[in-house]
Structure 1
Amino acid sequence: MEYYTTAYSASKTSATIAIKQTSIEFGITPETDESLPNPAELFLGSFSSCILKNVERFSILMHFEYTTAEISVKATRFEKPARMDEINYILKVHSKDNNLNIDLLKKNIEKYGTIYNTIKLSCTINGSIEKISD
């Protein structure tokens, strides 16, 4: 499989990533720090979306139903060289289904997630999954 994106920026304003039929604006100046995501936040968003995509994928393969899933991600940045040093996440899966095996879901996410596996080569990832029965 191959993936393709394009991106462009305008001096002293912002930048945009074009992916298929979607555009994602991101900040490149201090003035946009509070209003637009920065590249590090987009990176963590990619990590989050990888995990959520795999929840959906494995709900089919593992035969469980869920209503929603949400993930919170926090990262620690190392200064020299500038890089992510540690990523921590909490994934909450809302489900009443007894077929939901949290341990197996976590194992599958960690084994088959493309972004997850790419990131774990360069930094520590710690995570937990909670089943929320509402």
Structure 2
Amino acid sequence: MSQNKVKMTFHIESVRIDENGSLARCKNAEIPLDTNLAGNPNAFNPAELLLAALSACMIKGIERVVPILKFNLRGVDVIIDGVRQDVPPKLESVRYEIIVDTDESDHRLDLLHENVKKYGTVFNTVAPGTDLKGTLRRR
């Protein structure tokens, strides 16, 4: 007899504030959005928001597996660079570097990186349509 798993769902509401920007709301959080055609240096534009979501996915994935792997870690930094093509508009490539502050072995770092790539929701959403490549290294 198979069990039906409840799927995780997400709900975001965004509202245009004015021609300079918008605001996204989820749970008790708000994120200002750069929806101004001229740009807004005080908010993430949609592509930057996607890349920020990717970096958060990587860090959350690491947080999820650290206790399972009994991985000793003091901190994590993620650096992401994306390249946008004009026609059709899309992120054609994304390069990332995950920097882990740890004394774990290279083998354990590779295992951590494999978990990030295999189990990340946003990672696995972005990867099929984008040239997504990166490294995980020790600080």
For normalisation by structure 1, the TM-score amounts to 0.91
The within-5 A match list for 1:50-65 is 50-65=57-72
Distance change in 2, residues 1:18/1:130 (3 Å): same
2:13 to 3, 6, 26: 6
Paired letter, 1:40: A
1:99 Cα offset (Å): 9.1
1:34 to 41, 53, 57: 41
Q: Kindly report structure 1 stretches of 4+ aligned residues shifted beyond 6 Å.
A: none
Helix, strand or coil at the partner of 2:57:
helix
Where in structure 2 are there 5+ consecutive unaligned residues? 1-7
Rounded to whole Å, the distance in 1 between the matches of 2:14 and 2:107 is 39
Helix, strand or coil at the partner of 1:10:
strand
CA offsets 1:29-51 (integer angstroms, 9 cap, x no match) = 15553222111100100000000
Where in structure 1 are there 5+ consecutive unaligned residues? none
Equivalent residue for 2:3? none
- Aligned identity (percent) is 23
Paired letter, 2:28: Q
1:61 Cα offset (Å): 1.3
Alignment length (residue pairs):
132
For normalisation by structure 2, the TM-score amounts to 0.88
Aligned-residue CA RMSD in angstroms? 1.6
